[in-house]
Amino acid sequence: MHVWMLTWWGVAMLVFGLALAVLAGIWLLGRLTVPAGHPARAARHLPAWPARRPPRATLVVPMTGESPHMAPALASLLAQDYPEHEVVFVTQDEADPATALARRLSREHPHARHVLAGPAQVCGQKTHNQLAALATVDDTVRVFAFCDASHTAAPNFLASLLEPLLCGRARVAAGYHLVVPEDARLGTLGQAVVVLALHAFQTVPRLRQPWGGAMAMTRAAFDDLRVAALWGENVVDDVSLAARLVQRREPLAFAPAACLLTPLAQSWSGWTAWLTRQLAYPRFIMPGTWVGIGLGLFVLTGILCTAVLGGAGVLLGAVPAALGVPALGFLAGLLLVIRALAGLLPMRPPVWPWCVACGLALPLACWCFLRSAATRTMRWRHRAYVVGRGGRVERIVG
């Protein structure tokens, strides 16, 4: 075998091996973290906090639109077993379809109430809603929690989310979620695998990020970090908070048992729009992190494409078998990792649609990364936000 062939073989083995180790590492991190959020295990988790009576908490739930999943999700949030708390539903205005549901649930449950926030003028509507809700909370509440209205929670979700705060491990905590696929479309399964990867990264402190769908903080942290001023001009709650935590060197605790379940039936265009938003937020607010994400995505996608071309070349006889062995070995290992990732979901998806969705996730993420680089406008729920440096909202259209 020629020297150049040996060199190629060695370099290919090293590169493919490292890439496979990274992808297998995502599965391993998920294996350590995600099972705690599966319904059966999450329900068995017993939050531990000091013997003294836990402080009063407020759970803020911003709502908008209508969905068949919203009513059962809100019912699960109203059934939390945390000793003393209130649930505050908040909608934009009377015209919002979610307002009628919020009012009905507030009448039926004594520990729930509803707030009308009005339209946002200088920030994202969600952050505006959350601040409007907190403005109505009395001074006896010492802990704030935030949750979206489209996810189903176990009865101990709130207690699990607040556990790191009550035990003194941190002043800010976050949970996460798992997608429950309702169909086998590529958009649904593709978003499920991206959420699964992000969930796994929560295990690593340096990669950990607050997630707006399930996060909590003490009132003292909320005041010290000046969250009201931050959210009052920002397009998004969680990424802006992530940047503030890094700036102030404030630790973030991850509560793996505070895991929500998200029923999802997603189109291809819905997946790309969602993923573009997720990548655009750090571009505005944490540009260094955004660049690092892009480099990682393009390197892994380049390795994947090289492996696919190399494997196809071997099968077509265009590439010597000896040169194609590293590529075929990488693809075989990748299929094993993909099959293993499917076992981390609450419901195992069909094999081939799942494999195709996983294979497309990296190239699509690169495309969405490029789209995020070319936009200054964030569109969400029929409103468009022109966003400037740091995620500040410069203008709202619609």
Compute the distance between CA of residue 313 and CA of residue 203 in angstroms, rounded to an integer. 38
Angle made by CA atoms 130, 226, 207, in degrees to the nearest 5: 85
> For residues 381 and 101, which has the higher predicted lDDT (pLDDT)?
101
Q: If you average pLDDT over residues 147-163, what whole number do you get?
A: 94
139-140-143-146 Cα dihedral, nearest 10 degrees: -70
Closest CA to 189 of 13, 366, 356, 394: 356
Tell me, what's the pLDDT at 198?
A: 93
Tell me, what's the pLDDT at 41?
A: 59
> How much of the chain, in percent, has pLDDT values that exceed 70?
90
Tell me, what's the pLDDT at 8?
A: 55
* Helix extents (H) in 49-185: 70-78, 98-108, 125-134, 157-166
Provide the whole-model pTM: 0.91
pLDDT digits (tens, 9 = 90+) for 122-138: 999 999 999 999 999 99
Residue 43 has pLDDT above 60, yes or no: no
Compute the distance between CA of residue 173 and CA of residue 160 in angstroms, rounded to an integer. 10
Tell me, what's the pLDDT at 40?
A: 54
Tell me, what's the pLDDT at 195?
A: 95
Mean per-residue pLDDT over the chain, rounded: 89
> For residues 289 and 307, which has the higher predicted lDDT (pLDDT)?
289
Tell me, what's the pLDDT at 3?
A: 54
Question: Rounded to an integer, what is the distance from CA 29 to the centroid of its chain?
Answer: 15
pLDDT digits (tens, 9 = 90+) for 192-217: 999 999 999 998 888 899 999 999 99
Residue 47 has pLDDT above 90, yes or no: no
> How much of the chain, in percent, has pLDDT values that exceed 90?
69
Q: If you average pLDDT over residues 89-97, what whole number do you get?
A: 94
Tell me, what's the pLDDT at 19?
A: 79
pLDDT digits (tens, 9 = 90+) for 4-38: 455 555 566 667 778 778 888 887 887 777 764 45
